[in-house]
Amino acid sequence: MRKEVFILIEKALRRQKLIKIVVGSFLLVFSLMGIILSFSNLSLSIAFATSVLLGMIAFVGAMLLKNAYQAYLDECHFWNFFLKNEGRKIVWVYYHKLENLPFGISLHSQTTLFIHLDDRSKACIAMREPEILEIMSVLRSELPKATFGYSKQKEQLYNIGPDLLRK
């Protein structure tokens, strides 16, 4: 597999790590500030009850911070192994786009790249759509026998036998 694919996947993994760090830091800092302020402004029993709740929120923030980097390393190792050793087993590549459109207004969209192998296993990663399209164009040239794009017929063929999707 070409290095560009792994670089784009690593970029998406870094973005996920950064989001976890930002959210974890936010939870940790504001819950600790809340604990300090509750003891200075509230009665002792109310401050203690509030502090227990804020302590649980701080714990969640600390766990996010602790796991962010380890999850990033684990995912990088997985994708590096996957692209080097399992690359020729890829039979089907597509992406799924989910858009939140309350009242017809686009608020958020999430795209996920799916890679299916000939042994019926699959890997998926959330990425930005332009990065997914770039990866798919690189994979098209690297894997001429793989099928790209989603349809119900392709899903049925894959469920019957993954080799049916090879060109």
pLDDT in tens, 71-125: 999 999 999 888 888 888 899 999 999 988 788 777 788 999 999 998 999 999 9
Residue 57 has pLDDT above 90, yes or no: yes
The CATH code of the domain that includes 147 is: 3.30.720
Note down the domain range covering 77.
Answer: 3-83
What would the pLDDT profile of 7-17 be if each residue is shown by its tens digit? 999 999 999 99
75 with 114, same domain: the answer is no
The model's pTM is 0.79
Distances (CA, A) of 63 to 19, 50, 51, 69: 14, 20, 18, 11
78 with 96, same domain: the answer is no
48 with 110, same domain: the answer is no
Report the pLDDT value the prediction gives residue 100, as an integer from 0 to 100. 84
Domain count, the chain: 2
68 with 96, same domain: the answer is no
Neighbouring CB atoms inside 10 A of 99's CB total 10
96 with 78, same domain: the answer is no
Q: Which of 48, 64, 83 is the last residue of a domain?
A: 83
Residue 1 has pLDDT above 80, yes or no: no
106 with 159, same domain: the answer is yes
Report the pLDDT value the prediction gives residue 74, as an integer from 0 to 100. 93
Report the pLDDT value the prediction gives residue 30, as an integer from 0 to 100. 93
Helix axes 3-41, 129-142, angle to 10 degrees: 150
Report the pLDDT value the prediction gives residue 148, as an integer from 0 to 100. 94
62 with 103, same domain: the answer is no
Q: Which of 50, 83, 116 is the last residue of a domain?
A: 83
Report the pLDDT value the prediction gives residue 117, as an integer from 0 to 100. 92
Closest CA to 158 of 122, 111, 130: 122
Looking only at the bridges linking them, the beta strands covering 108-117 and 90-100 are antiparallel
Phi, psi of 121 (to 5 degrees): -90, 160
